[in-house]
Structure 1
Amino acid sequence: MKRSQFIRNSLLATGAVAGSGALHAFGHTPNGAPKQENKPFNLNYGPHQGQFENHAGKNILDQIQFAYDQGFRSIEDNGFSGRPVEEQERIGSLLAKLGMTMGVFVLDKGGNGANTLAAGKQEHVDIFLKGCRQAVELAKRCGGKYTTVVPGDFARNLPPDIQTANVIEALRRGAEILEPHGIVMVLEPLSDTPDLFLRTSTQTYLICKGVNSPSCKILYDVYHMQRNEGDLIANIDRCWDEIAYFQTGDNPGRREPTTGEINYKNLFKHIYDKGYRGVVGMEHGKSMSGKEGEVKLIAAYREVDNFLG
C-alpha cells in the first residue's frame, strides 16, 4: 500500500478527519471532486519539525516526506546547526531529491542576551562572526541560503544611536563573510521580551540600509510584528525592498492562521501580488493536539492560501 493511501485510511479509520476543509486538505472532497493531494500551495509554506509527528513519527526525514505529500515544498529548521553532520547531509539530500527548499536556520549564537551586538564588545562580535563562517558550511549541506540573526538585548549603558551603530558595524563584517556565498542573514525583530534591541520592522529597515548588503535583510515575522507595531500591510509596503523572508503565526496564541485576529488570506494575497515567491515559515504551534490538530493545521493553510481568482 502506498504511504499516502495508508495515511488516508488511517485517518478515516480513527475519525481524525472531520469537516470538508480537512478532507479537502488530505485529497478528499465530500462530493467526489478532484483530489488535491500533493498539489503545491500558491505560496511556499515551510513547516517545522514536530508539526506533523503524529502522522509521520519522530524522524525528521519522515516528517519532510509527509509535508511533501501534503503539498508543502519547503521546511524550516531553526536548530539545524545543532544536528550531527550526517543528519544535516541526509536532510539536504532528501530536500534535493524532492525539489524542496530549506528555509531559515538560526545562526549559531547569532545574538542573545549574553551576546549582544549592540554593546560593541569584540568578544561578542567574534562569536557572531564564527557563526557566520559556520553558516557557510551549513548552507552547503542543506542547500539553504537564509540564516536568522537576532542582534541580542539592549546595552542600556549606551545611547540608542551608538548601539545602532555597533549593530550595523558587526553586521557589515558578517555580510563580508556571507555575501560571496550568496547567503543572506535575515534580521528578526521580536516581541518575546522588551529587553531585545530589535523591535520593529522600520528599525530593522534602517539597519539594513546602514549595512547596505544583499546579505543583510529583514525577516518579517507577522506574529511578532502584529504584537509590536500592527499596521501590517502598510509596514510591509514601507519596508518591502529590504524584506527577504516571512514567518507566520496568528495572534493571540501564536498558532496556525484562522485561530486569531490576523487576516492571513488578505495578507498572503498582498505579498503574492507584490511578487513574493520565497518561503513563508510556519513558526508557530497548533491549536489542537494529536492527528486532529495536524489535519486542522493543513486545512487552515489550504483555507488562507485560497486567495486567487
Structure 2
Amino acid sequence: MTGPRFAANLKWLFTEVDFEARFEAAAAAGFAGVEYPSPYAYPAARLRRRLDDAGLTQVLLNSPKGAPGTPARAGLACIPGLEAEFRVGIERGLAYADALGCGLLHVVGGIVPRGVGRDRAFARYVTNLAWAAERAAGTGVRLVVEAQNGRDAPGFVLGSQAQAAAAVEAVGADHLGLLLDFYHLQVAEGDLVRTYRRLADRVFHLQIADPPSRHEPGTGEIGWRAVFRAVRDSGYDGWIGCEYAPLAGTVPGLGWMSAVAE
C-alpha cells in the first residue's frame, strides 16, 4: 500500500452544500472516491453524470432499507418474513452498483425485531446473505457486512466483529467480506490494532471516525498513527471511507490527513 485512498462519505461530509453539489466539492478538496449509503432517491444515470463530471469513483453503496419508523429502518436482512422485499432490494442495489461503476455493496443487517431471538435473526441474515452472494456472483460487485456498536445502533444484528466474521465464514463466498468501521469497533470493543490484524485478510473496506463524538480523526480517543500503520503494514489496498461529522466544517477539518495519516 503506497498510501491511504480516502473516500468522502457524502452523507456526512460537504453538508454545507446540497447533495448533488457534494460531488464537485469532494473532487475540489482532493478526494478521488466517494461513498454514501443510499442513492435510491435519484436516477442512477443522474448520479453517474455527477461522478463522471467530477472525475470520481463510486466506492460503496448500501442495500435499501425500510422507511423511517418501521422495523426495517436499519435494514431488512435479519427480519423474518421480509425475504421477498430483501431480494428486491438486493436486485436494486446491484443494478445501481452496476450503473455507477461501484465495486462494493453493503448488505445492511438490520435491527433484531421485538419478539425475535438474536439467534433466529442472525440465521435469517446468513440465509439472506447467502442468497445475495449467489445473486452477486459474476457481476463484479463484492458484498460486505458491517458490525455496528450498540450505543449508536441498539439491537443491530451484528454487534461485534466476531459476529460479522462468522456471517462471512458461514456463507463462504470469495466475493463476500467485511466492512470494518474503526469508530464502531472502538465504541463496541476497542483493541483496534489486534482486531484489525486478526481480520485483515477478510476486510474489503474500511471506514473511520473518532469517538466519542464521531468527528474527524484527531479529535477524539483513537491513536490513529498506530491504526494507519497497521493498515499499511497489512498491505490493504482498498479505500478508507471518511464517515464522520466534521467538527467545524468539512474542508477546514481535512488537516488530519497530513497530521495523522502519513
Deviation at 1:272, TM superposition (A): 1.5
CA distance in 1 between partners of 2:37 and 2:137 (Å): 21
Question: Are residue 297 (structure 1) and residue 253 (structure 2) matched?
Answer: yes
CA distance in 2 between partners of 1:279 and 1:229 (Å): 23
- Residue from 102, 109, 115 that aligns with 2:58: 102
CA distance in 1 between partners of 2:100 and 2:117 (Å): 40
Deviation at 1:166, TM superposition (A): 2.0
Distance 1:176 1:303, change over 3 A: same
Which structure shows the bigger proportion of residues in helix conformation?
Answer: 1
Provide the TM-score with structure 1 as the length reference. 0.75
CA distance in 2 between partners of 1:142 and 1:222 (Å): 26
Deviates more, 1:142-151 or 1:43-52: 43-52
Where does the alignment leave 5 or more consecutive residues of structure 1 unmatched?
Answer: 1-40
1:143 — aligned with what? 101
CA contact (8 A) 2:45 2:99 kept: no
Question: Are residue 132 (structure 1) and residue 90 (structure 2) matched?
Answer: yes
1:88 — aligned with what? 47
1:163 — aligned with what? 121
Count, aligned residues: 254
CA distance in 1 between partners of 2:76 and 2:22 (Å): 34
Distance 1:273 1:131, change over 3 A: same
Question: Are residue 47 (structure 1) and residue 8 (structure 2) matched?
Answer: yes
CA contact (8 A) 1:249 1:256 kept: yes
1:74 — aligned with what? 33
1:153 — aligned with what? 111
Aligned residue type for 1:239: L
Deviation at 1:152, TM superposition (A): 1.3
Question: Are residue 118 (structure 1) and residue 93 (structure 2) matched?
Answer: no
2:161 — aligned with what? 201
CA distance in 1 between partners of 2:98 and 2:51 (Å): 9
Aligned residue type for 1:168: V
- Residue from 213, 217, 221 that aligns with 2:181: 221
Residues 16-55 of structure 1 deviation map (CA, whole Å, 9 limit, x = unaligned)? xxxxxxxxxxxxxxxxxxxxxxxxx92111113362354x
Provide the TM-score with structure 2 as the length reference. 0.87
Alignment of 1:5-84 (within 5 A): 42-49=3-10, 51-52=13-14, 54=16, 57-58=17-18, 60=20, 62-84=21-43
Deviation at 1:297, TM superposition (A): 1.8
Deviation at 1:137, TM superposition (A): 1.6
Which structure shows the bigger proportion of residues in strand conformation?
Answer: 2
Deviates more, 1:232-241 or 1:201-210: 232-241
2:132 — aligned with what? 174
Distance 1:118 1:278, change over 3 A: same
Where does the alignment leave 5 or more consecutive residues of structure 2 unmatched?
Answer: none
Deviation at 1:232, TM superposition (A): 0.8
Deviation at 1:82, TM superposition (A): 2.1
Question: Are residue 231 (structure 1) and residue 187 (structure 2) matched?
Answer: no
Question: Over aligned residue pairs, what C-alpha RMSD do you find?
Answer: 2.3
Deviation at 1:238, TM superposition (A): 1.7
CA distance in 1 between partners of 2:87 and 2:138 (Å): 15
